[in-house]
Amino acid sequence: MKSLHIFETNNVIIKHRDLRLCAFFITEDKEHYEDQDETDHFFLYYYFVPVFLATIAIVGFCNIQTHVIEETYGIKNANAYSIMSSVQLLNKYTVGDFEKIKHTIKQNSEELLDIDYLQELNSDLLTKYSYLIVRAGKSLYYNGGTDNESMLDSLPKYGTTGSDAGVGIYIDSEEDVLVKQVDFKNAEDKKMSVFIITSMNESVPEVRQLLVGGIVAVILILLLTACMMIIWIYQSMITPIKKLQAAAENIKEGNLDFEMDARGDDEIGELCVTFEEMRQRLKDNAEEKINNERENKALISNIAHDLKTPITAVKGYSEGIIDGVANTPEKVDKYVRTIYNKANEMDMLINELTLYSKIDTNRIPYNFAKLNVYEYFKDCVEEIGLDLEAKGIGLSYFNYATVDTLIIADPEQLRRVVNNIIGNSVKYMNKTDKYINIRIKDVGDFIQVEIEDNGRGIAQKDLPYIFDRFYRADASRNSATGGSGIGLSIVKKIIEDHGGKIWATSKEDCGTTMYFVIRKYQEVTVNE
């Protein structure tokens, strides 16, 4: 019989490269920035641009018409306000004529008594929606207008305004007029008054053109903006809706192999994003369903294969007993023991399948607790060592972790992990001198467990698949050694549910070493 050797080396310090799990996440939300750019462009194109164009059009028309009015009527320093204000504009029209009359009075006032000269002045004023009236005393000397008798009595008296005033007086009569007055005395010292009468009811063609042009420009800009808005609405709403319709048709036909261009911050964009997520979820579910069906078929096939061998043996040995082939007590006892062992194999197979089904569907609740590594693995090794000793297998145990090291694990499921690994090693022992080594190491934030055997080993081509469900490196071995092919897959599932990792190294005819890591317990201080 092989002896059990347990070595406790808690005081041994072994330098080991820390196992650090580092992950760097660099994320760039391109869609967000693209969506933000689209929003900015929308504001620029559909709000700012129309206002900008309308402003440019109005300012341009104002400048053009201002220049035309200055050239046509001899106005200096005209501006947009004076153009839009009829009183100011009409007042500016006759500033030059007013100054000319004042100059004539200073040079030769008698010239204003010349009818020909007065007609010349009146002809010029008529082009500016104005006419000339000259009053001598209380009598009318010259009248350049027509049908204005009612207005003549409303003219200001002599001396009402200064001769230097260039601002007209508004007279509210039957005909609204703007009056500029210049008073003087002739050679006979008679009081004379010259009036420039400007009608307020006239519409200046240049101003009318400015208003019409501005209105037309604004209308065209609004039409352009409306067209741009229609195009944007079509692109932002109609186009995504058509994509949604096409996607819905694909899903209805069972086609999930497509991808929607889902972008935008509005409701339609969010709907497209949600629809794309739904499609991806449906696709994942469909693929998962296909994989599950494939695995279920493999499960049924493997169960049928694994149960067929012991059932055939039970049936054969039972028939041997019934037919009297076992004609001696020794044979009967042998047949009965064989039937019993085969029944145990089937029971173990069914239990493993049931366990894996529960673990795979997360129906087994884990009872996680703080475990002392030193005490837990010491008890585990002592229990395992008795079984191995009975089978003639030596066991060596090395614990390099400190006595106060703690881990978070389910004690029952972690023991199942150790038992399954060692049980798998025992199945494939082919040496005369058999042994298993268990080592516990501290690797930074984790505890690493190593289980080494000197069995037949695993081929390198099979090593990556040994933790897959129902995978067997050699199908012929299974019939001889027993097993369902899911023992190591159960181990992997339990370790991963503990937040750990499992792997293996092996060399044919030399042995295999299984490794798994469990995270250590660490207290986190919360600052209140």
Q: Are the beta carbons of 74 and 96 closer than 8 angstroms?
A: yes
**Largest distance between two CA atoms of the chain:** 176
Q: Which of 178, 194, 19 is nearest to 105 (CA)?
A: 194
- The residue among 202, 224, 247 that closes a domain is 202
95 in a structural domain: yes
Task: State how beta strands 501-507 and 139-143 pair.
Answer: unpaired
388 in a structural domain: yes
At 256 the three-state DSSP class reads coil
Whole-number Å distance between alpha carbons of 161 and 165: 7
DSSP 370-401: EEEHHHHHHHHHHHHHHHHHHTTEEEEEEE-S
Structure tokens at 181: 């007055």
At 369 the three-state DSSP class reads strand
Query: Distance between terminal CA atoms of the chain?
Result: 61
- Structural domain tally of the chain? 2
527 in a structural domain: yes
Is the dihedral angle over the CA atoms 347, 353, 359, 362 positive or is it negative?
negative
Q: Which of 136, 137, 91 is nearest to 118 (CA)?
A: 136
Q: Give φ, ψ of 405 to 5 degrees.
A: -70, 130
155 in a structural domain: yes
Instruction: Give the number of other CB atoms < 10 A from CB of residue 217.
Output: 17
Q: What is the CATH number of the domain that holds 122?
A: 3.30.450
pLDDT in tens, the chain (528 residues): 444 444 444 433 333 333 333 333 333 344 444 444 555 555 555 566 667 777 776 677 667 666 666 655 555 555 554 555 556 666 777 888 888 888 888 888 888 888 888 899 988 888 877 889 998 888 888 988 887 777 777 888 888 765 454 566 766 666 678 888 888 888 788 888 898 888 776 655 656 666 677 777 778 878 887 887 787 777 777 777 888 888 888 888 888 888 877 666 677 778 888 888 888 888 888 888 888 788 777 767 777 777 787 888 888 889 888 888 888 888 888 889 889 888 887 887 787 777 777 766 666 778 999 999 999 999 999 989 888 988 899 999 999 999 999 999 999 999 989 998 998 899 888 888 999 999 999 998 999 999 999 999 998 998 988 888 766 665 444 444 455 567 888 899 899 999 999 999 999 889 999 999 999 988 766 555
219 in a structural domain: no
Q: What is the CATH number of the domain that holds 412?
A: 3.30.565.10
Please report the pLDDT score of residue 369 as a whole number.
Answer: 92
502 in a structural domain: yes
118 in a structural domain: yes
Structure tokens at 161: 């305004």
pTM for this structure? Answer: 0.46
Please report the pLDDT score of residue 7 as a whole number.
Answer: 42
Give the up-direction half-sphere exposure of residue 307: CA atoms within 13 A in the CB hemisphere: 13
- The residue among 172, 202, 232 that closes a domain is 202
Whole-number Å distance between alpha carbons of 259 and 364: 37
Domain of residue 143, residue span: 85-202
The full length of the chain comes to 528
- The residue among 186, 202, 218 that closes a domain is 202
Burial class for 70, CB neighbours closer than 10 Å (0-12, 13-18, 19+)? middle
Q: Give φ, ψ of 138 to 5 degrees.
A: -105, 0
251 in a structural domain: no
